[in-house]
Structure 1
Amino acid sequence: MCGIIGILGKEPVAGQLVDSLKRLEYRGYDSAGVATLEGGVLTRRRAEGKLKNLEAALAKAPLMGTIGIGHTRWATHGAPTETNAHPHASEGVAVVHNGIIENFRELRQELEAKGVVFSTQTDTETVAHLVGQGMKEGLSAVDAVGAALPRLRGAFALAFVFEGNENLLIGARKGSPLAVGYGEGEMYLGSDAIALAPFTSAVAYLEEGDWAILDRNSVEIRDEAGHVVQRPVIRSSATAFLVDKGNHKHFMLKEIYEQPEVVARTTAHYLDMAAGKVRLPADLPFDWANLPRISIAACGTAYLAGLTAKYWFERFARIQVDIDIASEFRYRETPMVPGGLMIVVSQSGETADTLASLRYAKENGQHVLAVVNVPTSTIARESHIVMPTLAGPEIGVASTKAFTCQLAVLASLAIAAGKARGFVNAEEEDKLVRAMMEAPRYMNEALKQEEHIAGIAKMLSKARDVLYLGRGTSYPIAMEGALKLKELSYIHAEGYAAGELKHGPIALIDETMPVIVIAPFDKVYEKTVSNMQEVAARGGQILLVTDEKGAEHAEVETVATIVMPDVPATIAPIVYSVPIQLIAYHTAVEMGTDVDQPRNLAKSVTVE
Structure 2
Amino acid sequence: MCGIIGYIGNDALAKILDGLELLEYRGYDSAGIAVREKGDGQSVIYKCQGRVNDLRGIIPESDVNFSCGIGHTRWATHGGVSDVNAHPHKSGKVTLVHNGIIENYALLKEEYELSEQLVSETDTEVVAALLNKFYKGNPKEAIKRTVSKLQGTFALVIMFDDIPDTIFAVRNVNPVVVTHTGNQAILASDPAAIYAYSKEYFVLDEDVILTMNASGYTVEDFEGNPVDVEFTKVDWDTTSAQKQGYPYYMAKEIDEQPNCLRRILSNYIVDSDVNFGFNGEVDKALKHFSRVCIVACGTALHAGMVGAQLLKKWCGITAEVEMASEFIYSDTALDADTLFIAVSQSGETIDTLEALNRAKEAGATCVAILNVRGSSMSRVADMSLYTDAGPEIAVASTKAYTTQLLMFYMLALKAGLVRGKLSEVDYENAISQLRLVPDAIARVIAEKDSIHRLSKEVITCPDLFMVGRGLDYLVLMEGALKLKEISYIHSEAYAAGELKHGPIALITKGTPVIAAVTQTKLVSKALSNVKEVKARGANVVLLAKNSFKADFSEEYHVIGLPVLEDEYMTFPEIAALQIYAYYVSADKGLDVDKPRNLAKVVTVE
TM-score scaled by length of structure 1? 0.95
Match of 2:239?
A: 241
Return the alpha-carbon distance in structure 1 between the equivalents of residues 340 and 115 of structure 2. 50
Amino acid in structure 2 at the alignment position of 1:122? T
1:3 aligns with 2:3: yes
Report the AA paired with residue 358 of structure 1.
Answer: L
The amino acid across from 1:16 in the alignment is K
Partner amino acid for 2:600? K
1:606 matches 2:603: yes
Deviation for aligned residue 1:183:
2.5
Identity %: 36
More displaced stretch, 310-319 vs 237-246: 237-246
Kindly report which structure 2 residues correspond to 1:336-351, keeping only aligned pairs within 5 A, or say none. 336-351=334-349
Contact 1:211 1:223 in 2 (8 A): yes
Matching residue of 2:473: 475
Counterpart in 2 of 1:106? 107
- Residue 278 of structure 1 is aligned with which of 274, 284, 296? 274
2:36 match: 37
Question: Which residue of structure 2 aligns with residue 150 of structure 1?
Answer: 148
Q: CA deviation at 1:179?
A: 1.3
Rounded to whole Å, the distance in 2 between the matches of 1:44 and 1:93 is 12
Which position in structure 2 is the counterpart of 1:56? 57
1:123: Cα distance to partner? Answer: 0.8
Equivalent residue letter for 2:134: G
CA distance in 2, matches of 1:605, 1:289: 33
Q: Structure 1 stretch 61-70 or stretch 406-415: which is displaced more?
A: 61-70
Q: Is the 8 A contact 2:324 2:351 kept in 1?
A: yes
Would you say the 8 A contact 1:14–1:63 is kept in 2? no
Instruction: Write the distance in 2 (CA, Å) between the matches of 1:141 and 1:502.
Output: 66
Q: Report the Cα distance in structure 2 between the residues aligned to 1:242 and 1:455, rounded to whole angstroms.
A: 29
Shift of 1:468: 0.8
1:34 maps to a residue whose letter is I
Kept in 1: contact 2:368–2:381 (CA 8 A)? yes
Corresponding residue for 2:121? 121
Letter in 2 for 1:567: L
Within 1, Cα distance between the matches of 2:492 and 2:337? 36
1:561 is aligned, of 553, 558, 563, to: 558
- How far residue 554 of structure 1 moved from its aligned partner, in angstroms, is 4.3
Whole-Å separation in 1 of the counterparts to 2:448 and 2:240: 25
Of 336, 342, 360 in structure 2, the residue corresponding to residue 362 of structure 1 is 360
Cα offset for 1:61?
6.5
Change (3 A) 1:202 1:581: closer
How far apart, in 2, do the equivalents of 1:224 and 1:293 lie?
41
How far did 1:219 drift?
2.3
Aligned with 1:160 (options 158, 161, 177): 158
- Cα pair distance change 1:50/1:417, threshold 3 Å: same
Tell me which residue corresponds to 1:574. 571
Number of equivalenced pairs: 601
Counterpart CA distance in 2 for 1:193 and 1:233 is: 12
Maintained 8 Å contact 1:193/1:238: no
Gap change, CA 1:179 and 1:555, over 3 Å in 2: closer
> Compared with structure 1, are the counterparts of its residues 561 and 236 closer, same or farther at alpha carbon in structure 2 (3 Å cutoff)?
closer
Q: In the alignment, what sits opposite 1:92?
A: 93
Q: What is aligned with 1:583?
A: 580
| Bigger shift: residues 240-249 or 427-436 | 240-249
Q: 1:238 and 1:423, CA in 2 relative to 1: closer, same or farther beyond 3 A?
A: closer
> 2:589 — aligned with what?
592
Question: Structure 2 matches for 1:199-598, cutoff 5 A?
Answer: 199-223=197-221, 227-237=225-235, 240-272=238-270, 275-281=271-277, 282-284=279-281, 286-554=284-552, 557-558=555-556, 560-598=557-595
Cα distance in 2 for residues equivalent to 1:181 and 1:99: 22
Misfit runs of 4+, over 6 Å: none
Q: Any stretches of 5+ residues in structure 1 without a counterpart?
A: none
Alpha carbons 1:529, 1:554 under 8 Å: kept = no
Give the secondary-structure state (helix, strand or coil) at the position aligned to 2:165.
strand
Distance 1:250 1:470 in 2: 30
1:227 offset after TM fit, Å?
A: 4.2
Deviations 1:431-460 (A, max 9, x none): 000000000111111112211111111111
Shift of 1:68: 0.7
**Compared with structure 1, are the counterparts of its residues 224 and 379 closer, same or farther at alpha carbon in structure 2 (3 Å cutoff)?**
farther
1:293·1:337 contact (CA, 8 Å) conserved in 2? no
What is the distance in 2 between the residues matched to 1:305 and 1:494? 17
What displacement does 1:115 show? Answer: 6.3
The 8 Å contact of residues 240 and 390 in structure 2, kept in 1 or not, is answered as no
Q: Aligned Cα RMSD in Å?
A: 1.8
1:397–1:601 contact (8 Å) kept in structure 2: yes
Contact 1:547–1:563 (CA under 8 A) maintained in structure 2:
yes
TM-superposed CA distance for 1:493, in Å, is 0.6
